Every structure is written in C-alpha cells, then in structure tokens.
C-alpha cells in the first residue's frame, strides 16, 4: 500500500490510503524489522505491506490495517497536492463529529460501524491553549465551539515557544482515543495544512 501519514506515532499512524483516498489507521510492530527505523513525519508518503488475515479490528478503530513491518518513507506531499487529498475527506457540516455529541463515548457502545477519525475544516482560526492537563485546541464547527485535547508535538512546540495561546488557520484531524476508564475521547492528534 501507499499511504500519506497524517499523525505518525510509535507503531501506529493515522493515514490516507493513496490508492483509494480513504482514512485509515495503520498499525505495526516497531521492533519487527532489522533495519534502523527512520523517524516518520506528518505528510510523509510511505509504502507498506499488509498482513493477509489480520484479526478483527477494535470497534473503536474499525479502519485499522495491520502492517507486516514498519512503513518505509518514499517522499513527502505538500501544498496543493496534499490539500487535494484532504478536501474530499472533510467532515460533513450536518453531522456530529465522529457521529456523537459531546467529548466522549462509552467504549461498550461501539460496534465498529462508525468512523474513528475525520478531518475538520473549522470556521475561522483554531486557538491552541496550554492548560494544566496539556494542550487544548478550541475551534468552531456546526455553530458550536469545541475544545479538545491536542497531542500534536509541533503545535505544542509552537505554544511553548510563544509562551501562551497561538491562533492558526488549519484543518484538524479529529480521532477517537484508545479506551480510557471505559470511554473513548475525541482528540486532535494533528493540525493539517489549511
């Protein structure tokens, strides 16, 4: 597969499948290769081999694809080419984010029939704010103000450098977190080109 990484992490990444244009989670064992891994960055284009008969995905992440080994970076996409891939994936303005109101959903209610990630094109600027619990992003969507935890490392660095809130015109990747105390929470793991 060819993937565009949106939010790479240790052994997982939120991605766009470049062959069909859909959003998916790619997961792999980071220790499964003898090759020294190269640090993956947002908007890297990677190639990867998928497991033939993977186990069923967790209902909190139904779009999961299991990879045989870590993905290999083959390039980067920026500017208009990246935006052409992101725009068709914008969350519909008439629907609740990830199919439910509020910041969290009970894990036991998830059946794997709703997406666990979406791209939000908010109204106006987003505001990144430091809080006692970490970084929060505030944005307007569907006529409401949303405040969600943000785990984007580059956004955290920008807030730290400014020593206060930062405004930006960006799209947001909104995903469900892994289950925590029986709930999955809406989080923003990546700010994307606007």
Note the pLDDT tens digit of each residue in 37-86.
Answer: 568 899 999 999 999 888 888 999 999 999 998 999 999 998 888 889 99
Q: Determine the average pLDDT of the residues in 177-187.
A: 95
Answer yes or no: is pLDDT of 4 > 80. Answer: yes
What's the CA gap between 40 and 30, in Å, rounded?
12
CA distances 117 to 27, 113, 168, Å, are 15, 12, 21
* Domain of residue 152, residue span: 90-192
95 and 186 part of one domain: yes
Q: Are 101 and 171 within one domain?
A: yes
Residue carrying the six token digits 């499948």: 17
17 C-beta neighbours (distance < 10 Å), count: 16
Average pLDDT over residues 111-120: 93
Nearest alpha carbon to residue 7 among 130, 164, 187:
187
Is residue 181 located within the same domain as residue 95? yes
Structure tokens at 54: 């993977």
Distance of CA 171 to the CA centre of its chain: 11
> So what's the pLDDT on residue 36?
55
For the segment 83-108, what is each residue's pLDDT rounded down to a tens digit?
Answer: 899 999 999 988 899 999 899 999 99
- How many domains would you assign to the chain? 2
Regarding whether 128 and 35 lie in a shared domain, the answer is no
Q: What's the CA gap between 71 and 67, in Å, rounded?
A: 8
- Please tell me whether residues 108 and 188 are part of one structural domain: yes
Residues 131 and 111 in one domain: yes
98, two tokens: 């990830």
Chain center to CA of 113: 18
Of 36, 62, 87, the residue that ends a domain is 87
Q: Are residues 116 and 127 in the same domain?
A: yes
């Amino acid at each position: 597969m060819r993937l565009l990484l949106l939010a790479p992490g240790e052994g997982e990444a939120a991605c766009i499948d470049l062959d069909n244009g859909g959003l998916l989670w790619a997961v792999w064992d980071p220790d499964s290769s003898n090759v020294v891994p190269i640090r993956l960055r947002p908007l890297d284009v990677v190639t990867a081999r998928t497991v033939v008969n993977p186990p069923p995905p967790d209902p909190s992440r139904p779009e999961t694809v299991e990879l045989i080994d870590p993905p290999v970076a083959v390039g980067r996409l920026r500017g208009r080419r990246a935006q052409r891939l992101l725009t068709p994936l914008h969350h519909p303005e008439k629907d609740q984010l990830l199919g439910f109101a509020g910041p969290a959903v009970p894990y036991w209610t998830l059946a794997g029939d709703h997406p666990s990630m979406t791209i939000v094109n908010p109204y106006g600027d987003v505001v990144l704010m430091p809080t006692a619990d970490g970084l929060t992003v505030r944005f307007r969507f569907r006529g409401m103000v949303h405040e969600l935890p943000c785990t984007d490392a580059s956004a955290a660095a920008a807030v730290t450098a400014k020593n206060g809130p930062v405004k930006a015109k960006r799209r947001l990747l909104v995903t469900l977190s892994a289950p925590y105390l029986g709930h999955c929470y809406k989080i923003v793991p990546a700010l994307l080109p606007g």
